[in-house]
Amino acid sequence: MNEALTAETILDVKNLQTVFFTNSGLFRAVDDVSFSVRRGQTLAIVGESGCGKSVSALSIMRLVPDPPGRIVGGAVLLEGTDLLALDDAAMRDIRGNRISMIFQEPMTSLNPVMRIGDQIIEAVRLHQKVSSREAWQQAVEMLRLVRIPEPERRATEYPHQLSGGMRQRAMIAMALACRPALLIADEPTTALDVTIQAQILALIVDLQKRLGTGLILITHDLGVVAQTAQRVIVMYAGKKVEEATVEDLFESPLHPYTRGLMASIPAVPSRNAGTGAEADARLVEIPGMVPSLTKLPPGCAFAPRCKLAVDRCLEAYPPLEEIRSHHWAACWRAGETAEAS
């Protein structure tokens, strides 16, 4: 990695391993995953449900439920501090202060019997030495920053009195109240309608740029990735299978799984498509199903679903290699794909 970029690195995840002990066996939810996030950068993590995206985020936050889950290996360095080596008290000082998270559904994260302003105040006073009055003013200012109309009045209201979009804005205000170095957004627009989704995403990106916060965006929506991220990680069955800049990934994906995800994006037919082939085009799907993480095949986990698989793919897992400059893929045939594209 370039030394100039290293100085700006906020988060450096190295060989992270998180497992769950279940009745069916050992469940490797995150298996030897590494990545980094720089100040002001958006890193997107994409993949199908169950690929390990959200567990990666919970591992960084040290919120994996134990039992049955446990982080068993690796390091999570936030501004040089290994979060996995901290005791619970030290981690509580960092969580919500230097690192924050926005969850999918705000109604499960907001306290239904506390006013919105009081919930933001709680986050502020936990980490900053300010008076109640100063904290309330800061809460109102944060609601104004996330573009909630009449922030003074909204601060006195309860979650059920706000619309879904406003609740998510309140969650963003709470997450950013202490100006964290890193923000994790786990499917932050899933429960919202399309127009509100666009507004929330634009808001998150705008605030991130203004505050210089590093952002990890967890999503299954490649359209969102194209709009917001600079770098992308593709995960499958708990492992990182590809990493590249957004431009490189969309222009020439190297892993067959990534190409399958790209091909499954619905195309918008032109007005002149009529009844021709373009109008009748069917969605492309990836055949088969994600394997059980307790019974992974010996080789590449994607091989049973891959049209390009050869005997070697079924026998040994491919290493993650830099096939092009700053473009990594874990596929025995990625080199051939690079030459062909």
Q: What is the dihedral of CA 150, 153, 157, 160, to 10 degrees?
A: -30
DSSP label of 95: B
pLDDT band, very low/low/confident/very high, at 341 (cuts 50, 70, 90): low
- Position 324 scores a pLDDT of 93
Element (H, E) at 174: helix 164-176
Per-residue pLDDT at 279 exceeds 70 = no
Instruction: Give the amino acid at 61.
Output: M
Beta bridge partners of 108: none
3-state SS string over 30-57?
EEEEEEEEECCCEEEEECCCCCCHHHHH
- Its pTM stands at 0.90
3-class secondary structure, 25? strand
Give one word for 145, left, alpha or beta, with left for phi > 0 and alpha for psi -120 to 50. alpha
Chain centroid to CA 31: 16
- Rounded to an integer, the average pLDDT of 211-237 is 92
- Position 232 scores a pLDDT of 97
HSE-CB for 198 with a 13 A CA cutoff? 3
pLDDT band, very low/low/confident/very high, at 93 (cuts 50, 70, 90): very high
86 in Cβ contact with 156 (< 8 Å): no
Q: In 10 A of CB 340, how many CB atoms?
A: 8
For residue 61, which phi and psi values (nearest 5 degrees)?
-80, -5
3-class secondary structure, 117? helix
pLDDT band, very low/low/confident/very high, at 5 (cuts 50, 70, 90): very low
Q: What is the DSSP string of 218-270?
A: E-S-HHHHHHH-SEEEEEETTEEEEEEEHHHHHH---SHHHHHHHHTSPP---
Q: Report the C-alpha gap between 147 and 169 in whole angstroms.
A: 8
Q: Report the C-alpha gap between 222 and 269 in whole angstroms.
A: 18
Q: Report the C-alpha gap between 222 and 186 in whole angstroms.
A: 14
- Rounded to an integer, the average pLDDT of 219-238 is 92
Cα→Cα distances 324→9, 41, 241, 244, 339, Å: 22, 21, 14, 9, 10
Average pLDDT taken over every residue of the chain:
89
Q: Where are the domains of the chain?
A: 8-229, 239-262+285-340
| Domain 8-229 classification at class level | alpha beta
Q: Report the C-alpha gap between 67 and 150 in whole angstroms.
A: 44
pLDDT digits (tens, 9 = 90+) for 20-44: 998 888 899 999 999 999 999 999 9
- Position 116 scores a pLDDT of 96
151 in Cβ contact with 66 (< 8 Å): no
